[in-house]
Amino acid sequence: MMLKIKDLHASVEGKEILKGLNLDVKAGEIHAIMGPNGAGKSTLANIVAGKEEYEVTGGEILLEGEDIDELAAEERAHNGVFLSFQYPVEIPGVTVTNFMKTAINETRKAQGLEEMPAKDMLKKIREKSELLEIDRKFLSRSLNEGFSGGEKKRNEIFQMAMMEPKLAILDETDSGLDIDALRIVANGVNKLKSPENAIVVITHYQRLLDYIVPDFVHVLYDGKIVKSGTKELALELEEKGYDWIKEEINA
């Protein structure tokens, strides 16, 4: 099992957001998590990535069977967790290239590997930027500074391509993307998919799932997964909204 979440409870600033969430993700699978605003989708993504402001008050998160609760964000990254941010942070003064070089070499260092030779690094950067149709000039700009919404998201998936994670969580990667950018990003994600890794897509809309086809779709509502199904569930949600689910639960 790539990711196993058991009865996860979590709160931020004393407010309980996740209230007993369960999720099993196997290698080679794509899972979509949908749900209304405020259901806890981004909280889930940030908790798995190790954001410290969120407090896990109960339950377990296992990555390939190992409890990662005690691991810092960077250690989770070293173990193969990747979060594509809903709101990527602007970091003036650090270029995209330098950021990626540092990220990859710090990760290699943690894994007991030598730094990647500059030649290999450049080759990899070239390949992955071509995959995401990213202009070379873009790579020498300050990270996310002055990027459009679509450029930021494309840059997130570029980083995913560079880091080659085992578990990628894409938090609303489709928001802010026009249809062309959406196609490029989805195409990139599909090319990165393999039997050895797993992808969790968090989204409001079914639109992205036309391009990144999930094996399973889950509905997150009020801190729990309340319904799971296959890709047809996403279509049903698109058509009928979330009210029927709320009614089902409250009934």
User: Would you count residue 202 as binding other proteins (CB under 8 A)?
Assistant: no
Nearer to other proteins, 29 or 156 (CB): 156
**Token code pair at residue 11:** 């709160």
**Token code pair at residue 219:** 């509905």
Which range binds other proteins by CB under 8 A, 66-74, 172-180, 196-204, 225-233?
A: 66-74
Instruction: Tell me the Cα Rg of the chain.
Output: 18
User: Would you count residue 140 as binding other proteins (CB under 8 A)?
Assistant: no
Binders of other proteins: how many residues, by CB under 8 A? 35
SS3 143: strand
Which of positions 162-191 make contact with other proteins (CB under 8 A)?
A: 163
User: Would you count residue 106 as binding other proteins (CB under 8 A)?
Assistant: yes
Residues 47, 55 contacting (CB under 8 angstroms)? no
Give the one residue of 50, 188, 214, 223 binding other proteins; rule: CB under 8 A.
50
Residues forming beta bridges with residue 91, ordered by sequence position:
143
Give the one residue of 21, 85, 96, 147 binding other proteins; rule: CB under 8 A.
85
Which residue type does 109 have?
Answer: K
User: Would you count residue 56 as binding other proteins (CB under 8 A)?
Assistant: no
Nearer to other proteins, 75 or 130 (CB): 75
Residue closest to 159 by CA, chosen among 134, 195, 178, 194: 134
Give the one residue of 11, 105, 175, 187 binding other proteins; rule: CB under 8 A.
105
Question: Alpha-carbon distance 177 to 190, whole Å?
Answer: 17
Where would I find the H helices in 39-148? Answer: 41-49, 73-78, 96-110, 118-131
Give the one residue of 76, 152, 153, 227 binding other proteins; rule: CB under 8 A.
76
Distant-in-sequence, close-in-space partners of 241: CB < 8 Å, separation ≥ 6: none
Which range binds other proteins by CB under 8 A, 32-40, 47-55, 201-209, 220-228?
A: 47-55
Stated as kind and residue range, the H or E segment containing 57 is: strand 54-63
Do the bridges between strand 15-25 and strand 30-34 make them parallel or antiparallel, or are there none, so unpaired?
A: unpaired
Least Å distance, CB 192 to other proteins, is: 16
Residues forming contacts to other proteins in the complex (CB under 8 A) are 49-53, 72-74, 76-78, 81-83, 85, 88-89, 91-94, 98-99, 101-107, 110, 115, 142, 159, 163
